[in-house]
Structures are given as C-alpha cells and as structure tokens.
C-alpha cells in the first residue's frame, strides 16, 4: 500500500481531493492512504509559529527548519518503513526537477511519499540540505504554495497504482507512453455538426484500428510535441 503524507499550513485544502472519481475508489479499496499534517502542530514556538524573516533582508517570510524537521521525524517514526529507498521526502519547489509521467511512475512504486508544501518565500535552505531527498516542480511558473503541486502528485501517482484505473490497457495507451501523445477519441453520436466519426473506428477491424491509432498518435505528437519524439533520437 502506498502511504502519502502531506505537511502543509493549509490542511483544509486537501479536504475533498479523495472524494471523487477513481481516487475515491482507490481509498475505499485501501490501495493507498493519505495523511495530512498541519505544520503548525509541530512548532515549538508560541502560537504555532512556523515562519520568520529572511536573514540578510528581503521581502516575505521563510518557513523555519525545526517544525518541518519535527513533522518529518514524526511521520517517519509512525510509518516505520523498513527499506529506506522506498520512502522519499519531497519538497514541492519551483526550482525542483520537473514532474513528468516517468517520475510519477517512480513515485507510485514507493511505499511512502512525504510531501512538504512550501509557502511564502519558501523554506530555509537547511531543510533542503538535510531533510529532503529531492525537490519537484510542476512547471516553470510560481504558485502561492506547494499544496496544488502536492495534489498533482497525489492524483497522478495514485491513478498509476494497480487496481485504480479500470482497464490496465487504458493506462498503456495514454499520452506519454512510448513518448507519444494519445490518439483522437470519438464517441456517440456518429455525426456531430456535420462531422463524421472516422470510418475505420466503425469497421470492427481491431488490427486496422490499432494501426490507425498508432499513426494518429505519431502524427499528433509530431505536430504538437515534436520534442517528445526527438527525445529518443
């Protein structure tokens, strides 16, 4: 079972994320577990303070190291993961490694993911130097906090767990498998605003349909994301 632990100053933001769709089913089936921790509960300072001004001056506030350290220590003690390589502590950060489907696959194979959500101007560098296995960014832009990036990881990693998405083939034929984007999909009605569904999809010939889909995947990837094809030369 994959255990995901999140440390945040806004735990309520996570209230509903496992209440819908395949994620809801995954939690019902006990395929994964999600625990949300309020960073303030791990503060040794008055009124649950977790931030302070940056040394050297400058705008904004920085998350202090001790509450984050306390939270990670607590989570690790509670989870008792024996194989250290199966437990990773990750800081969400715009400067981190860019998230992609391969990283989600790697994460979905762990036993425990501990996600630390930054806020304000970020976290004290000593957290990164001593407590974090790696940093992950969800893209080259800056958000107000790590909570939405953490939700992206939770959603993307959980749907890769065996038994979460109905048919395993639907994972295999999706965008980014084999460095290709998905082929075009159609459903009823057969004619919409004068546009027909491609005849081949109505032919019942599965071999030809597979071939057509592969060709379309290649064509679409060449047009929209040639960088994916170039990746492997």
Ligand X SMILES: C[S@@+](CC[C@H](N)C(=O)[O-])C[C@H]1O[C@@H](n2cnc3c(N)ncnc32)[C@H](O)[C@@H]1O
CB of 153 to ligand X, least distance (A): 9
- The residue within the footprint of ligand X, chosen from 43, 137, 217, 221 (CB under 6 A), is 137
* Residue 105 near residue 99, CB atoms below 8 Å: no
Which residue lies nearest ligand X, judged by its C-beta? 118
| Both structure tokens of 32 | 């994964």
According to CB under 6 A, which one of 2, 17, 132, 146 is a site residue for ligand X? 146
Alpha-carbon Rg for the chain, nearest whole angstrom, is 22
Measured from the CB of residue 143, what is the shortest distance to ligand X in angstroms? 4
Residues in the chain: 233
Q: In sequence order, what are the beta bridge partners of 182?
A: none
Q: How far is the CB of 91 from ligand X (least distance, A)?
A: 7
User: Least distance (Å) from ligand X to the CB of residue 189?
Assistant: 40
Shortest Å, Cβ 211 to ligand X: 39
- For 122, phi and psi rounded to 5 degrees? 120, -160
Whichever of 62 and 180 has its CB closer to ligand X, that residue is 62
Give the sign of the dihedral formed by CA 78, CA 79, CA 82, CA 84: negative
Task: Indicate whether 65 belongs to the interface with ligand X (CB under 6 A).
Answer: no
Kindly state whether residue 144 participates in binding ligand X, applying the rule CB under 6 A: yes
List beta partners, residue 177: none
- Tell the smallest beta-carbon distance from residue 112 to ligand X (Å): 20
CA distance 154 to 156: 6
CA distance 108 to 128: 22
Helices (H), the chain: 21-28, 65-79, 101-108, 125-131, 147-158, 168-172, 206-224, 226-230
**Upper half-sphere CA count for residue 145 (Cβ side, 13 Å):** 18
Select the residue interacting with ligand X from 93, 108, 217, 221 (CB under 6 A). 93
Please pick, from the candidates 81, 143, 160, 165, the single residue that binds ligand X as defined by CB under 6 A: 143
Site string for ligand X, 96-125 (x = CB under 6 A): ---------------------xxx-xx---
Give me the residues that bind ligand X (CB under 6 A), please: 92-95, 117-119, 121-122, 137-139, 141-146, 149
């Amino acid at each position: 079972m994959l255990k995901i632990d999140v440390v945040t100053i806004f735990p309520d933001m996570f209230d509903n994320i496992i209440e819908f769709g395949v994620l809801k089913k995954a939690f019902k089936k006990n395929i994964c577990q999600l625990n949300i921790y309020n960073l303030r509960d791990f503060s040794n300072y008055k009124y649950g303070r977790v931030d302070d001004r940056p040394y050297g001056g400058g705008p904004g506030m920085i998350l202090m190291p001790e509450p984050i350290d306390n939270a990670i220590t607590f989570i690790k003690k509670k989870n008792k993961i024996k194989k250290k390589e199966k437990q990773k502590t990750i800081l969400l950060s715009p400067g981190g490694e860019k998230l992609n489907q391969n990283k989600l696959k790697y994460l979905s194979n762990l036993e425990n993911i501990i996600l630390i959500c930054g806020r304000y101007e970020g976290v004290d560098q000593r957290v990164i130097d001593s407590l974090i296995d790696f940093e992950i960014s969800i893209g080259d832009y800056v958000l107000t906090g790590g909570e939405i990036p953490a939700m992206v990881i939770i959603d993307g990693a959980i749907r890769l767990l065996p038994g979460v998405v109905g048919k395993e083939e639907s994972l295999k034929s999706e965008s980014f498998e084999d460095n290709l984007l998905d082929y075009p999909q159609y459903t009823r009605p057969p004619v919409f605003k004068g546009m027909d569904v491609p005849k081949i999809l109505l032919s019942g010939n599965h071999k030809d349909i597979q071939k057509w889909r592969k060709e379309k995947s290649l064509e679409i990837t060449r047009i929209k994301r040639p960088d994916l094809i170039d990746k492997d030369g």
